[in-house]
Structure formats: structure tokens, C-alpha cells
Amino acid sequence: MNENFDVLNRYLFEQLHVRGEVVQLKQSFDDIIGSHDYPVEVTQLLGELLAATCLLTATLKFEGEISVQLQGDGPVAFAVINGNHKQQMRGVAQVNGPILRKSLTDLVGKATMVITIMPKQGEKYQGIVALEGETLSECLEHYFATSEQLATRIWLSVDAEKRLAAGMLLQVLPDSDDKEQQLSDFEHISHLTATVKDEELFNLDAEQLLHRLYHQEKVRVFEPQAVSFQCSCSEDKCLAAITSLSRQEIEDHIEEYMSFDMTCDYCQKTYHFDRQKLQPLLNPQSQH
């Protein structure tokens, strides 16, 4: 039984032009689903999106934040996972109608995948891909092929009932001029990786899994990185949102509801502001 969930492992092949990642998630996935009352298909989708975002985040070579969002005209209006280079993740989905079938296109309809990368230093980057593939992993492979022009393969597995999510990523390592050799290495390792089974991803730890798949290859595994759920909401951010309203709007709201309560979409924590707490916004002059 795997005891090592909520870790991301990066590895490369000593004698081949290929690198890889494997992520196995349990608690972080469970925390993101939390007490949201999602249909099982949506839990499944968020699990895949979570594993995918962890893998994508680990390909970045700088500190910053990333968000992977699906938006469309299906019963799932949007689903998003946000993460950062510390593998701190949060996510949410909005379900607008009944889910009758469970393919990706049945869930999100005609949709796009928006990948936003926000480095701590430097320009924000946004990549938008039409959701044309049958699966999320196909869409992501397409994204890598167009944005980074690197051959990439992704496998995603989710057990929504047990709240287990896992994923693997392989990418060509463009570290030489021999493109042909790189691609043949990549094909070879893809072939081995494609034999991976869901129960292996869920039940073996990374070391056992990599041995099972690649025991004839020389694999170097880097320091594992912990993955956790972390919501970035705060009282200050809520206050900032309230500040964007007019004084009259705030007055009206307090008049009607006695207080101003804001609930975070991601973690469902409620922030409570009574009249006294909002006094500085209502009476800016009284602030010294």
C-alpha cells in the first residue's frame, strides 16, 4: 500500500533524452473537494485537473503561480485549479445543470482551456487552447506541442470515490542536436509508461512505480516535493473586495442583512464583517 501520497517526483533517464514526473494525491485532493457537494463526475474532473496542474507547475523553471481553467457552455460552467511553485493548490468548479453523461465534452460543452502563468518576476503568460481532444490529457499534450514545441505525454487517473488522483508526464529533453535520437528515446519511454495501470498509480509509491515501469533503465530521481491544499483567501482580500463597492451599497447591504458576510468559493470559509468592522470604509474621515 502506498503511504506516500501528496508528493510530486521528478526524474530523468541517465542515458536517454527524456525527463518525467509522477504525482500521487490523496489529502490535497480530498481538501479541495472538501464539503463542496459536487457530482462524482465533477470530482473526477477536478482530480484530473489537479494532477495535471501539479505536473504542469513542476515544468516551470521559475517561482510564481499558475492556473488551469476550463470554461464552456456545458453543465460545468467552469473548473479551475490554481497552484504555485511550492505545489500549494486550490480549486473550484461551478455546476449549472444536471450531468447526464460523463465525457469531458458532455461536462464542459464547447469549451476552452486557459492556462495562465504568473511568474513572480516577469510577464504574465496566457495560453488558450480549444478543448478538442476527448480527454484532458490530450488537450494538455496539444498545449505543450503548440506552446513549448516539446513532445509531451500525460497520463491522468482519478478514483473519485476514494478521492485519489495521480498523473505522469514525459517530455523530450532537448539537450542535444540529435532530434531523431531524442524522439526515439521518447517513444521508447512512452511505450513503457503507457503500460501503467490505475491500481499501480494508486497503490505503489513512486520508487516502486518507477522500478516497475523502467527497471531496465537508469533513472535519476530528484528530491520529492510535497503537494498541499492551501487557500489564499484572507480577511484583507475580502475587505479589499468590499472597498470596491460604493458607501451606499455597503450601507444598503448592512441595512438588509445586519452584516457583510463573504464566503470563499474555494475553501468555503466565511468572513464576517459587522458594522463596526466596516466603519473605516463607511466613515473614511474618522480614520487617523
Cα-based torsion angle of the residue sequence 66, 206, 202, 3 in order, rounded to the nearest 10 degrees: -100
Burial (Cβ within 10 Å: 0-12, 13-18, ≥19) of residue 178: exposed
Residue 264 interacts with Zn ion (CB under 5 A)?
A: yes
Give the helix/strand (H/E) hosting 12: strand 7-13
Residue 266 interacts with Zn ion (CB under 5 A)?
A: yes
Residue 233 interacts with Zn ion (CB under 5 A)?
A: yes
The nearer residue to Zn ion, 192 or 262, going by C-beta atoms, is 262
C-alpha cell at 101: 453523461
- Alpha-carbon distance of 55 to 45, in angstroms, equals 15
- Least distance (Å) between residue 260 CB and Zn ion: 17
> What is the identity of the amino acid at 140?
L
Candidates 51, 196, 210, 267: give the one binding Zn ion (CB under 5 A).
Answer: 267
DSSP 151: -
- Least distance (Å) between residue 271 CB and Zn ion: 9
The nearer residue to Zn ion, 206 or 267, going by C-beta atoms, is 267
- Alpha-carbon distance of 193 to 156, in angstroms, equals 12
The nearer residue to Zn ion, 251 or 265, going by C-beta atoms, is 265
149: CB partners within 8 A, 6+ apart: none
Residue 245 interacts with Zn ion (CB under 5 A)?
A: no
Residue 254 interacts with Zn ion (CB under 5 A)?
A: no
The nearer residue to Zn ion, 79 or 170, going by C-beta atoms, is 79
- Least distance (Å) between residue 28 CB and Zn ion: 15
Residue 80 interacts with Zn ion (CB under 5 A)?
A: no
Residue 231 interacts with Zn ion (CB under 5 A)?
A: yes
Give me the residues that bind Zn ion (CB under 5 A), please: 231, 233, 264, 266-267
